[in-house]
A and B are shown apart, each in its own frame.
Chain A
Amino acid sequence: KQEVTQIPAALSVPEGENLVLNCSFTDSAIYNLQWFRQDPGKGLTSLLLIQSSQREQTSGRLNASLDKSSGRSTLYIAASQPGDSATYLCAVRNSGGSNYKLTFGKGTLLTVNP
């Protein structure tokens, strides 16, 4: 059974700092991995998706990397801003068949202080 762990559970940084969020998964047979953002009282918004054959994806100040063999992914946020404050979740989709189930980590609550 796939299990996804995110460390740390919470992180507080001053504005402008670069930061890294971590995600690990137990079964390396994944189809892809996604990073989501969740704002309080709202649903999830997809930030980046990395296919199992890829090593990284970039969108603006965000960079996500994937090391499938070691079961790890990182989300790098450059020059953090107060607007980046949210909970960040990673989710994996296992390979095999046509099952579209995503397994989520519990998230990292990020606070960027002005």
Chain B
Amino acid sequence: DAGVIQSPRHEVTEMGQEVTLRCKPISGHDYLFWYRQTMMRGLELLIYFNNNVPIDDSGMPEDRFSAKMPNASFSTLKIQPSEPRDSAVYFCASRQGYQETQYFGPGTRLLVL
């Protein structure tokens, strides 16, 4: 398996623009997680899905952030409008229900100018 795939790997955008991050989990995994990593706050869980249904979105910072999982093989994290403080590395991870281990993608490095 190719592992968790994220795109784009790098994104530079201007404040106010819409940003869409994409994730393809490992085939057969029924949990998907979105994380954000910054120097100040470390790695934080934003939201996670089980069988395409959002279970816990308490980490989503504000209404500018939204996440969807239309099917078992694809998820998006959207920021609209983007702000400089959203600059971070965003990770997607997936796991199979009966296992504890989460498998992380390589991340998307977002810079909002």
Task: Check if A101 sits within 8 Å of B91, measured CB to CB.
Answer: no
Task: Check if B56 sits within 8 Å of A99, measured CB to CB.
Answer: yes
- CB proximity to B under 8 Å, residues A17-48: 32, 34, 41-46
Task: Check if A102 sits within 8 Å of B42, measured CB to CB.
Answer: no
Task: Check if A105 sits within 8 Å of B104, measured CB to CB.
Answer: no
Task: Check if A49 sits within 8 Å of B100, measured CB to CB.
Answer: yes
Q: In the complex, which of the residues B44, B100, B105, B107 contacts A34, with contact meaning CB atoms closer than 8 Å? A: B100
Closest 5 CB pairs of A and B: A43-B104, A106-B42, A104-B43, A44-B104, A46-B101
Give B1-17 as 1s and 0s: 1 = Cβ < 8 Å from A's Cβ atoms: 00010000000000000
Task: Check if B106 sits within 8 Å of A105, measured CB to CB.
Answer: no
Chain B residues with CB under 8 A of A104: 42-44
Q: What bracket does the count of chain A residues touching chain B fall in?
A: 20 to 34
Q: Which residue of B lies closest to A32 (CB)?
A: B100
Give A74-112 as 1s and 0s: 1 = Cβ < 8 Å from B's Cβ atoms: 000000000000000101010000011111111100000
Q: In the complex, which of the residues A42, A102, A103, A105 contacts B102, with contact meaning CB atoms closer than 8 Å? A: A102
Task: Check if A89 sits within 8 Å of B43, measured CB to CB.
Answer: yes
Q: In the complex, which of the residues A34, A43, A46, A103 contacts B106, with contact meaning CB atoms closer than 8 Å? A: A43
Chain B residues with CB under 8 A of A44: 43, 91, 93, 102, 104
For the complex formed, measure the closest distance between the CB of A106 and the CB atoms of chain B, giving whole angstroms: 4
Q: In the complex, which of the residues A42, A49, A99, A103 contacts B107, with contact meaning CB atoms closer than 8 Å? A: A42
For the complex formed, measure the closest distance between the CB of B33 and the CB atoms of chain A, giving whole angstroms: 8
Q: How far is the CA of A103 from the CA of B42 in the complex (A)?
A: 10
Q: Which residue of B lies closest to A93 (CB)?
A: B100
Give B74-103 as 1s and 0s: 1 = Cβ < 8 Å from A's Cβ atoms: 000000000000000001010100001111
Chain A residues with CB under 8 A of B42: 104-107
For the complex formed, measure the closest distance between the CB of A71 and the CB atoms of chain B, giving whole angstroms: 18
Chain B residues with CB under 8 A of A101: 45, 48, 56
Chain A residues with CB under 8 A of B107: 41-43
Q: Which residue of B lies closest to A49 (CB)?
A: B100
